[in-house]
Structure 1
């Protein structure tokens, strides 16, 4: 029975040695994997730092650009306001010119008959004057011819 005890202890010792061997092999593989993970995380950390720095710079430039656009937009607002005021002034002038034109046209229509009458009376007066002038010239000729 003692032999059985020695064989059992030997089997347990061999099993323990095999267990320790595979445990060491597993721990070494795990250490290699953790080293790889560590280097990957370090690389990712560097990339994240770079991206963070570039994002900060990009955000700063974007803010500057937005401020510049806002300033230019504000300056354009006064131009558009002035253009609007100018357009309204031109509209008022056009409306005034239209009203004056309509008033003149209406007055001209109302007075066209009076103007026609005045032209007729003017023609009649001109004819009388021409006839009077012609008679006057004839009398002067007669008087001049009698005096010779």
Structure 2
């Protein structure tokens, strides 16, 4: 009997231990279930937020693409303006070169003709001197004739 009572007491202790174990397991599983529900809610909220962020990101990307296209068009317009300015600069450079060539040509011709001009001035001066002397001599010769004819 002793063994039978010990066997019953052991079975009773095992049953109580199993009941306590089941109670703690149930509590733990309920706590884990609540934690999983909170995690599921959090994941659902994150999914909604990510969907919102995804939509906003797509809108931002579309706006960025439109802005990039606009910048590209404006850059092409500015490029044509710079091309025009470059062409104008080249025209002005060519005009300046033409002016320099004309100036150099005039300077060269004046240099070449300066000797002829100097000769012409000398001949002109000499001719003027001769004319003046001729006039003075003619006046000087005409004076005695006038005085003789009047007597």
TM bin, normalised by shorter chain, reads 0.7 to 0.9
Superposition TM-score, scaled by structure 2 size: 0.84
Residue by residue over 1:19-65, the C-alpha shift from the partner in whole angstroms, topping out at 9 and shown as x without a partner, is: 10110011111012112211211221122112111111111110110
Q: How far, CA to CA, are the matches of 1:136 and 1:60 in structure 2?
A: 108
Structure 2: gaps spanning 5 or more residues? none
Q: Report how many residues are paired.
A: 148
Superposition TM-score, scaled by structure 1 size: 0.86
Correspondence list, 1:94-113, <5 A: 94-113=96-115
RMSD of aligned Cα (Å): 2.2
Match of 1:34 in 2: 36
Correspondence list, 1:31-110, <5 A: 31-110=33-112
Structure 1: gaps spanning 5 or more residues? none
How far the C-alpha of 1:128 sits from its partner, in A, is 2.9
How far the C-alpha of 1:80 sits from its partner, in A, is 0.9
Q: How far, CA to CA, are the matches of 1:41 and 1:142 in structure 2?
A: 142
How far the C-alpha of 1:127 sits from its partner, in A, is 2.7
